[in-house]
Amino acid sequence: MAAKRVRITLDLDPAQYRDLQRWIASAAAAAGKSRVSLAEALRAMITVTTGDTAATTQVLHHLRAPHPSQRPN
């Protein structure tokens, strides 16, 4: 029996969304695909980040640094 998926919601500012869409389009072209969905790209990012120490280190560095674009929770 497959586990039920969990839905998440993420609010991005318009510039972050444009950057993400550009990155996804570029990644699709580099992967030889005509299109990559947002969900597919985010799942791949999660898989790589949680399985790669270097990627995790970069994310932690980013989280520790103050960024004006990040809104407090």
Tens of pLDDT, residues 29-58: 999 999 999 999 999 999 999 999 999 999
Q: Alpha carbon 72 to chain centroid distance?
A: 19
Q: Is 46 domain-assigned?
A: yes
Q: Which domain holds residue 43?
A: 15-64
Residue with tokens 């980013």: 62
Do the domain assignments include residue 70?
no
Whether the per-residue pLDDT at 68 is higher than 80: the answer is no
The pLDDT value recorded for residue 1 is 77
| 1 in a structural domain | no
Count of structural domains within the chain: 1
Give rounded-to-5 percent helix, strand, coil for the chain: 60, 0, 40
**Is 23 within the bounds of a domain?**
yes
